[in-house]
């Protein structure tokens, strides 16, 4: 409690909420409270918050659009930052530079407006630039690693580093940012000159495919599981007869077996229970382990 008062006094100009339910921000509409939830508007504010956390030995959690996240119902201790207010996008020649909190979808729109092709695959990925770099997000044959040439990151000891493509060490849903606990501040996208109408047509086409296959009308966190080598997670889940399986308000989607949708006031615990059941059932039937793609963070709720 003492710390809570302190941070509000130390940084009266930064938007900070105490004991704020993260279910208000996650795409699954689930998750417990953040002790301290800050919305920095600039890299300077981000650095001030990081200094504060380091000085007070508070754990730091960074969130973008919360579209690939399950926050456990016990919430997150320490300082949590949501970066969606740091969102400038600029374009010069074939480059687009976007700050971490910019919506990836807005970056695809900026690229299209500047007749730049290469980012159409991301037109429907509902994450932020920071989350997309962190996850090496991808769809329809494209991945962030194909278009991002470098990123500016903040190290845990509060230094700004410029990482080139090699240093980002991209892999399937992986980047080096994960290993070094860095905060992505911005990313540079190198694209190719194209025809604006053609780019728009391709984005519309991919978004139509997405709408036909994915349960976009219900809260979810996208594909819950990574693609296991030699298989498709959705097919294994479908073949195991798990579509429609439900615990509490969390249900394996009838429309896309790789999604778990919030159909009735689900909790994060409901999500985790469905995930565990799906993993066990698929393993028992096919001896394939489904690893989660969704990031699971925070603490379990306290038992009474």
Ligand X SMILES: Cc1cc2nc3c(=O)[nH]c(=O)nc-3n(C[C@H](O)[C@H](O)[C@H](O)COP(=O)(O)OP(=O)(O)OC[C@H]3O[C@@H](n4cnc5c(N)ncnc54)[C@H](O)[C@@H]3O)c2cc1C
Binding stretches for ligand X (CB under 6 A): 27, 62-69, 83, 100, 125-128, 130-132, 134-135, 137-139, 177, 183-184, 214, 216, 220-222, 295
Residue 87 and residue 84: Cα distance in Å, rounded?
A: 6
Residue 96 and residue 108: Cα distance in Å, rounded?
A: 10
3-class state of residue 101 by DSSP: coil
Report, in Å, the least distance between residue 215 CB and ligand X. Answer: 8
Report, in Å, the least distance between residue 24 CB and ligand X. Answer: 14
- Looking up tokens 């279910």, which residue turns up? 23
Residue 138 and residue 107: Cα distance in Å, rounded?
A: 14
3-class state of residue 78 by DSSP: strand
Q: Which is nearer to ligand X, 164 or 193 (CB)?
A: 164
Q: Which is nearer to ligand X, 1 or 212 (CB)?
A: 212
Q: Which is nearer to ligand X, 188 or 281 (CB)?
A: 188
Give the 3-state secondary structure of 175-218: CHHHHHCCEEEEEEEECEECCHHHHHHHHHHHHHHHHHHCCCCC
What are 279's two structure tokens?
A: 């993993």
Active site residues: 173, 223, 293
Q: Which is nearer to ligand X, 140 or 283 (CB)?
A: 140
Exposure string of 239-254, with b = 16+ CB inside 10 Å and e = fewer, is ebebbebbbbbbbbbe
What are 290's two structure tokens?
A: 């489904």
Report, in Å, the least distance between residue 223 CB and ligand X. Answer: 6
For residue 64, give the nearest of 110, 152, 16, 132 by alpha carbon.
132
Report, in Å, the least distance between residue 68 CB and ligand X. Answer: 3
3-class state of residue 276 by DSSP: helix
Report, in Å, the least distance between residue 278 CB and ligand X. Answer: 17
C-beta of residue 69 within 8 angstroms of C-beta of residue 297: yes
Q: Which is nearer to ligand X, 217 or 284 (CB)?
A: 217
């Amino acid at each position: 409690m003492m710390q809570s008062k302190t941070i509000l006094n130390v940084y009266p100009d930064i938007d900070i909420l105490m004991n704020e339910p993260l279910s208000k921000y996650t795409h699954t509409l689930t998750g417990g409270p953040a002790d301290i939830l800050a919305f920095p508007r600039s890299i300077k504010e981000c650095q001030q918050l990081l200094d504060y956390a380091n000085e007070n030995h508070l754990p730091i959690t960074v969130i973008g659009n919360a579209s690939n996240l399950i926050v456990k119902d016990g919430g997150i201790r320490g300082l949590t930052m949501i970066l969606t207010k740091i969102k400038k996008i600029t374009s010069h020649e074939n480059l687009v530079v976007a700050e971490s909190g910019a919506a990836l979808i807005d970056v695809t729109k900026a690229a299209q407006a500047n007749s730049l092709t290469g980012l159409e695959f991301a037109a429907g990925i509902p994450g932020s630039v920071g989350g997309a770099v962190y996850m090496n997000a991808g769809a329809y044959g494209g991945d962030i690693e194909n278009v991002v040439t470098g990123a500016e990151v903040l190290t845990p000891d509060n230094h700004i580093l410029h990482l080139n493509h090699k240093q980002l060490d991209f892999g399937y849903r992986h980047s080096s940012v994960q290993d070094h606990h860095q905060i992505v501040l911005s990313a540079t996208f190198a694209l190719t000159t194209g025809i604006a109408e053609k780019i728009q047509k391709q984005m519309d086409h991919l978004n139509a495919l997405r709408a036909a296959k994915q349960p976009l009308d219900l809260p979810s966190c996208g594909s819950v599981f990574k693609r296991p080598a030699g298989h498709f997670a959705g097919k294994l889940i479908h073949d195991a007869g798990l579509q429609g399986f439900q615990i509490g308000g969390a249900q394996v989607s009838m429309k896309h077996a790789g999604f778990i949708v919030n159909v009735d006031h689900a909790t994060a615990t409901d999500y985790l229970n469905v995930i565990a059941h799906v993993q066990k059932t698929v393993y028992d039937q096919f001896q394939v382990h489904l690893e989660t793609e969704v990031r699971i963070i925070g603490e379990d709720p306290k038992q009474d």
